[in-house]
Chains A and B, each alone.
Chain A
């Protein structure tokens, strides 16, 4: 396993700058998740690490070596795509063994069998080793694709939304497995997603991308609690963060340069003793919790509440801001104090 870095890397496609002056160091053994909407530059960044794209400017390093101009095959990285790319006429065993049989890897057939067996066990596809790839369900295929990347311990794993084509239950399961495997192997992983829950649950560190620029990196807790911009604040959290006017009753004294106050839905209380009356537009009883959509003097906001909170659509309720420290944003949508 190894450290991997981009140093001042830019990649343009005609008039579009897909990756704009990115500096990013991924530590040895770190799980880094790149998060952003479509077109933010996540996949291009990943492909620059892989050698599938070459930078117009800047340097790419893996394990301390400059690999900027090396082809993908010379970089010792494994890539997992969103669409599983298996050899359809091979069995699961042969698909998993394929990277180990590459010329230059002098592994005996016993060693290959053992290694494939271990990985298949980990991913719970051991009973399918003799099946052809085409006989698998989507979830199984994606596990084989992950297995093929994991089977030969490369310096760096690059994963482009590998879970997004799976159903919710399987995604949940594989998320946990992937995190455990990464911990056990000490693997360095760069993982691209637009799913904020995936980013928060998997990442040691999240990198937030916007129009080709890396606008914030930090642990999930840091980015969630201390976003440096409105954009970063809106990337994490479901329902999304509320952005309130400064004259909203119940907010503490705002700093001089503040323009709006960011308050997470879990910090909005309803049925408060004092505070302004808000109209209840919608109530979603999600089972373990309730999400309410409220109208407060023309501002709509979300509250994340207990499962059994008494609240009726169309009624009014007094709301209060529970936190003493909202996230203050200035007129340029930056967090106050993060010029």
Chain B
């Protein structure tokens, strides 16, 4: 059991609060992603789990054991900084076995474990090769092998794919996830890239300004964000935020957006603030003459399987994702229809989502 519990943990650097009273549990075998912009406290949290920083307050337990004050090397964890730096003067076998050799394990055990890992990653035929001549995919596998050969209780990874270009990053996300499915080790992964988080996480933890804002399965957080920040941070292109009129009773089913009445999930609480924001993701708006809002096409971006249409409306510039067979032209006036059951109303004063039927649906609704 390599469950990691973070209990009311905080970290100050002088007057600066890096992490403010975080409490959550990372489950055994879970792929847990900490997501947020730079400076939000995600890396500091990870470093406290690793034992590289000592918390200013609170408690951290690893597999039931209080490790709050223990040094990094007394905790059975593997910290992966830069997944992809290999030792150029060593061959594949030497690279993978390196962590075992510095632990001083018996030679036979080193050989067996190195070969096991190489087989699992399908690079066993390359063990004697120099790393210089490898394809980039095989290099990544060697680096992964070196990280997992220790069989630590948990893997901690800090933006390991940050330096890769988009195409390759996608490939490596998939590979990391497949590897996780095979070995099932508890993994805590820090990134500012929401696509990586969505693609890999069992659960994602969104942070901003030293605070944990929401924890949940990626799709859950994507569809039922607790705050406007979370809503805007997940998804590319971002959710559209339309200025709306507040002052709504509990049970409201539509909202006034710049004079257009837009239907939305029934609210479960009143919204007293006079200003609100209606959140609509690009895939929840479609182009239809019958829609309640009109706007002028500002941009059309072809993306292969789909296209992204940017439309200027009274409620601002909106991004609309449509199938690629929908014909639109620059400068054309179009109607916009909304997937009403998916819209989210935010209180403009607190930036919190107003409770609605969408949030009380079954989690996997």
Among the listed stretches A78-86, A195-203, A253-261, which one makes contact with chain B, having 4 or more residues with CB under 8 Å of it?
A: A195-203
* Among candidates B170, B217, B281, B301, residue contacting A239 with C-beta atoms closer than 8 Å: B170
Question: Which B-chain residue is minimally distant from A302 (CB atoms)?
Answer: B174
In the complex formed, the residue of B with least CB distance to A306 is B283
Q: Is A288 within 8 A of B235, CB to CB?
A: yes
Residues from chain B with Cβ under 8 Å of A307 in the complex: 219, 283
Contact in complex: A288, B321 (CB < 8 Å): yes
With an 8 A cutoff between CB atoms, is A224 at the interface?
A: yes
Residue of B166, B195, B281, B305 near A304 (CB, 8 A) is B305
Distance A288 CA – B217 CA, assembled complex (angstroms): 14
Q: Is the CB of B330 within 8 A of A183?
A: yes
Provide the residues of chain A in CB contact with B145, threshold 8 Å.
none
Q: Pick from A22-30, A98-106, A168-176 the stretch touching chain B.
A: A168-176
Residues on the B chain within 8 Å of A134, using CB = none
Determine how close the nearest CB of chain B comes to the CB of A57; give it in whole angstroms: 32
Out of A180, A224, A289, A313, which one reaches B304, CB within 8 Å? A224
Closest chain A CB from B291 CB (angstroms) = 19
**Closest CB in chain B relative to A306 CB, distance in Å:** 10
In the complex, what distance in Å separates the CA atom of A196 from the CA atom of B330? 22
**Which residues of chain B come closer than 8 Å to A239, judged between CB atoms?**
170
In the complex, which residues of chain B have a beta carbon less than 8 angstroms from the beta carbon of A129? Answer: none
State in angstroms the CA–CA spacing of A94 and B180 once bound together. Answer: 53
Q: Is the CB of A287 within 8 A of B235?
A: yes
Assess the A286–B174 pair: CB atoms within 8 A: no
Is A3 in the interface zone, CB < 8 Å from B? no
With a cutoff of 8 Å between Cβ atoms, the chain B residues found around residue A172 in the complex are: 236-237
* Interface residues of chain A: helix, strand, loop or mixed (majority): mixed
- CB neighbours (8 Å) of B195 from chain A are 286
Distance in Å: Cβ of B133 to nearest Cβ of chain A? 16
Interchain CB contact under 8 A, B301 and A221: no
A236 on interface, CB distance cutoff 8 Å: yes
Which of B170, B223, B282, B283 is within 8 Å of A238, CB to CB? B170
| Interface set, chain B 304-356, CB cutoff 8 A to A | 304-305, 308, 310, 321, 324, 330
A293 within 8 A of B: yes
The answer to whether B310 and A293 touch across the interface, beta carbons within 8 angstroms, is no
What sequence of 0s and 1s flags, for each residue 266-303 of chain A, a beta carbon within 8 Å of any chain B beta carbon? Answer: 10000000000000011011111101010000000000
Convert A11-53 into 0s and 1s, putting 1 for each residue whose CB lies closer than 8 angstroms to a CB of B. Answer: 0000000000000000000000000000000000000000000
Interface membership of A265, Cβ < 8 A: yes
Whether A179 is near chain B, meaning CB under 8 Å from some CB there, is yes
Residue of A169, A201, A239 with most chain B CB atoms under a 10 A cut-off: A201
A237, B305: Cβ atoms closer than 8 Å: yes
**Interface: A220 (CB within 8 A):** yes
Q: Does A210 contact B (CB under 8 A)?
A: no
B174 and A293 within 8 A (CB): yes
By the criterion CB–CB under 8 Å, are B177 and A284 in contact?
yes
Inside 8 A of B178's CB, which chain A residues have their CB?
Answer: 281-282, 293
What interface size band does chain A fall in?
35 or more
- Note all chain B residues with C-beta closer than 8 A to A196: 167
Q: Within the complex, what minimum Cβ distance (angstroms) separates A209 from chain B?
A: 15
* Residues 210-257 of B contacting A (Cβ, < 8 Å): 217-219, 222-223, 234-238
| Min distance, Cβ B286 to any Cβ of chain A, angstroms | 13
In the complex, per-residue mask of B289-310: 1 if CB is within 8 Å of any chain A CB, else 0: 0000000001101111100101
Report how far A313 CA is from B180 CA in the complex, Å: 12
Contact present for B222 and A287 (CB under 8 Å) = yes
CB–CB A176/B174 < 8 A? no
In this complex, which of A197, A288, A307 has the most chain B Cβ atoms within 10 angstroms of its Cβ?
Answer: A288
> Is the C-beta of B120 less than 8 angstroms from some C-beta in chain A?
no
Residue among B193, B237, B330 with most chain A CB within 10 A: B237
- Which of chain A's residues have a CB closer than 8 A to the CB of B166? 195, 197
Nearest chain-B residue to A179 (Cβ)? B299
Q: Would B181 and A313 count as touching, CB distance under 8 A?
A: yes
Measured CA separation A30–B310 after assembly (Å): 21
Which of A180, A285, A313 has the most chain B CB atoms inside 10 A of its CB?
Answer: A285
Q: Is B198 an interface residue (CB 8 A)?
A: yes
Q: Is A115 engaged at the interface, CB distance under 8 Å to the other chain? A: no
In the complex the two chains form, is A221's CB within 8 Å of B181's CB?
A: no
A236 to B178, CA, bound (A): 24
| Distance from B164 Cβ to chain A, minimum over Cβ atoms (Å) | 12
Q: How far is the CA of A224 from the CA of B303 in the complex (A)?
A: 9
Contacts A284-B177, A285-B218, A288-B283 given; indicate if A175 touches B301 (C-beta within 8 A): yes
Closest to A314 in B: B181
- Pick 17 A–B contacts, CB within 8 A, sort by A: A180-B299, A197-B166, A201-B308, A220-B302, A220-B304, A221-B324, A224-B302, A237-B305, A264-B305, A282-B174, A284-B173, A284-B198, A286-B199, A288-B235, A288-B281, A293-B174, A313-B181
For the complex of A and B, list the 5 residue pairs with the smallest distance between their C-beta atoms, beginning with the closest: A201-B301, A287-B222, A266-B305, A284-B199, A288-B283
B residues lining the A interface (CB < 8 Å): 165-167, 170, 173-174, 177-178, 181, 193, 195, 198-200, 217-219, 222-223, 234-238, 281-283, 298-299, 301-305, 308, 310, 321, 324, 330
Given contact pairs A238-B167, A282-B181, a sample of 14 additional A-B residue pairs in the complex whose CB atoms are under 8 Å apart: A172-B237, A176-B298, A179-B301, A200-B301, A200-B302, A220-B304, A265-B305, A284-B173, A287-B218, A287-B223, A287-B281, A288-B235, A307-B283, A313-B181
